[in-house]
Amino acid sequence: MTVQRIRRKKRRLRRKIKYGLFVILTIAFIIAIFLVVIPFIDQMRLSSMGYSRESAKNIVSQKLTKTVLSREYSAAFDTNMIKEIDVKEYLELYYVTVDIDDTDKLLYDRLQDLGYQQMAVLKVFSALTFNEITPLLVFNSAEDLDIYIADVIANRDQEIFVLSNNYTDHYENIKTIDDSSAIDVLINKYRATVSDYVPDLVDMSVQYASSGQQLQTEAYQAFTKMVDAMKSDGLGGIYVYSGYRSYQTQERIYNNYVRSKGQQWADRYSARPGHSEHQLGLAVDVTATKSPSAAFETTPEYLWLQDNAYRYGFIMRYPEDSELITGYGYEPWHYRYLGVELATKVYQSGLTYDEYKILYGE
Ligand SMILES: [Zn+2]
């Protein structure tokens, strides 16, 4: 081998090394641009829109830069992004409101299931509180949600939930429930059981009811347990003066009310046949044993039920401030059996059963 050939080989090797280094550096440079420079520029652009540094960082890491840059600045979204919330498929909701939990997401989905447009639902979420929105689950003729929003806001200073316009048509588009035997079945002014539905019934002891009253066994056992507990807390107890009522009985009662007090009164305080929870054998009208003729809401037994009924599976079905939602005036005497688990959930939700059932599904 000549000296010349060795030199040529060395030179070629040096050239190869130089070339290799060049390629590696170029790749490293490109990677650096993607990892550092572009995100940095994105963050700068988001910051110039008004987003804080922390939220800009999170927007970039969730790969939402393009979307966010194409829209106007949202203070709500900024706040959500600062908290490093993973927006997933609820981006739109996070754009209009803060402090969103799973129940809010469920409500957002349900309203769209009911046929409301996403844009309208987003407006509702940006303007109203959770409890101001949930009545929409029940209302069946709230077509223009802008009107609803303005109505709710205009009536916010009232002590109970009232609205100036009507958003519901009772006894319209009635859903008939063929099998009403489930303990959680919902019956109201939009949902009816069939006229020949008769549950499995048991006669109630006169220790717990006036004579001739019946209930489903499970509800009856829970009721006796509840009354025994109430008594061992030193109270006089309660008894059922109306438990199960057949379709025919309800028909007679309703028609009598219409005759004596007019249809409007009858519809406020009495269910039309097929629409009464009493036909399920799962509802009771009660009074205080010690003072049966007193207004029940003035008795200590009523107060005890307010705190404890759910522990035995019962809920007060028609509360004072919910007439617009339940369709019934305040009925401090009417309790519905749902079983302990469900009654507890409904009680803790603060919703009427009409809202609860639609929100959480059938
Ligand atoms: Zn009742």
Residue 288: strand pairing partners: 238
Q: Are residues 185 and 258 in the same domain?
A: yes
pLDDT at 32: 82
Answer whether residue 165 is part of any domain: no
Q: Which of 73, 88, 116 is the C-terminal boundary of a domain? A: 73
pLDDT at 1: 62
State the CB neighbour count (10 A cutoff) for residue 116: 19
Q: Are residues 60 and 132 in the same domain?
A: no
Residue 243 CA to ligand 1 center (angstroms) comes to 8
Answer whether residue 169 is part of any domain: no
Q: Are residues 146 and 214 in the same domain?
A: no
- Torsion-angle region of 316 (φ positive above 0: left; ψ -120 to 50: alpha; else: beta): beta
Residues 57-82: pLDDT tens digits?
999 999 999 999 999 999 999 999 99
Q: How far apart are CA 310 and CA 348, in angstroms?
A: 9
Contact (Cβ atoms closer than 8 angstroms) between residue 344 and residue 91: no
Answer whether residue 80 is part of any domain: no
The amino acid that residue 191 corresponds to is R
Residues 158-202: pLDDT tens digits?
988 999 999 999 999 899 998 899 999 999 999 999 999 999 999
Domain that holds residue 105: 101-154
Q: Are residues 337 and 197 in the same domain?
A: yes
Q: What is the mean pLDDT of residues 106-127?
A: 97
Q: Are residues 223 and 294 in the same domain?
A: yes
Q: Which residues are catalytic?
A: 331
Q: Are residues 118 and 264 in the same domain?
A: no
Residue of 324, 317, 268 lying closest to 155 (CA atoms): 324
Residue 285: strand pairing partners: 242, 334
Q: Are residues 182 and 316 in the same domain?
A: yes
pLDDT at 109 over 90: yes
pLDDT at 335: 98
Q: Are residues 179 and 289 in the same domain?
A: yes
- Residue entry with tokens 């929003």: 149
Token pair recorded at residue 70: 């194409």
Q: Are residues 136 and 274 in the same domain?
A: no
Q: Computed over its alpha carbons, how large is the radius of gyration of the chain?
A: 32
State the CB neighbour count (10 A cutoff) for residue 330: 17
Q: What is the mean pLDDT of residues 88-92?
A: 93
- Residue entry with tokens 């081998």: 1
Residue 311 CA to ligand 1 center (angstroms) comes to 20
Residue 349 CA to ligand 1 center (angstroms) comes to 22
Residues 314-334: pLDDT tens digits?
999 999 999 999 999 999 999
Token pair recorded at residue 361: 């599904």
Between 13 and 137, residue with greater pLDDT? 137
Q: Are residues 190 and 280 in the same domain?
A: yes
Answer whether residue 217 is part of any domain: yes
Residue of 165, 166, 156 lying closest to 129 (CA atoms): 156
Going from the C-alpha of 172 to that of each of 64, 191, 298, the distances in angstroms are 45, 9, 36
Token pair recorded at residue 180: 């009403």
Number of structural domains in the chain: 3
pLDDT at 336: 98
- Torsion-angle region of 83 (φ positive above 0: left; ψ -120 to 50: alpha; else: beta): alpha
Answer whether residue 41 is part of any domain: yes
pLDDT at 362: 64
Q: Percent helix, strand and coil across the chain, each rounded to 5?
A: 55, 10, 35
- Residue entry with tokens 């290799």: 20
Q: Are residues 179 and 150 in the same domain?
A: no
Q: What's the whole-number average pLDDT of the chain?
A: 94
3-class secondary structure, 319: coil
Q: Are residues 194 and 109 in the same domain?
A: no
Neighbours of ion ligand 1 (CB under 5 A): 285, 334
Residue 285 CA to ligand 1 center (angstroms) comes to 5
